[in-house]
Amino acid sequence: MILDTLSRKEIDQILFTIMASIYRFERKKVQLFGINYEAFYLLFLLRRRSSVRIREIAAEMDIHISTASRAVNRLEKRGFVSRKKDPEDKRSIFVSLEPEGEKVVRASEDHSYNIIKKNMESMKEEDIEAVVTTALQFSRILETPLVSDSADGLKKVLEG
């Protein structure tokens, strides 16, 4: 088994290489679109749900509610999101994605898709399958919970 042949140092290097690649890829997006990774995550989260309470955003992103509120403030100032009070609980605020935020999400997705598709076109089919299989297992490998709708999307890819 290949896992038995890898040293601790090699596994650490593999993880660092993956992290560095994702970090640099995301930094390019930050430069292109002018918002940070946290903001992208929040916009992508809102796109997958019609509206989300600030406390749910904080829980999903594993950040303090005041940090979530500040992130929403920054995006609201740019016209990417809007807030509405819950008619049943005035203390609760719903956050929704606005058309301007949808444009940023779509542009980011297009950017990612085009780069990945272009760079994978020259790969062998079995190598592409290995990348996809590994990507689908990353939350399990790293013991990080998936957003439930992400898990559903991954199941569709596997069934695909």
For residue range 115-151, what is the model confidence (pLDDT) as tens digits?
999 999 999 999 999 999 888 888 888 888 776 555 5
Residue 157: per-residue pLDDT: 56
Residue 92: per-residue pLDDT: 85
pTM of the model: 0.77
Q: Which domains does the chain have, with CATH numbers?
A: 2-122 (1.10.10.10)
Q: How far is CA 60 from CA 20, 57, 119, 148, 153, in A?
A: 24, 5, 31, 11, 17
Banded pLDDT at 154 (limits 50, 70, 90) = low
For residue range 87-102, what is the model confidence (pLDDT) as tens digits?
888 788 899 999 999 9
- The pLDDT of 57-70, averaged and rounded, is 94
Residue 115: per-residue pLDDT: 95
What is the rounded distance in angstroms from the CA atom of residue 57 to the CA atom of residue 52?
7
Residues 23, 138, 61, 150: is their CA dihedral positive or negative?
A: positive
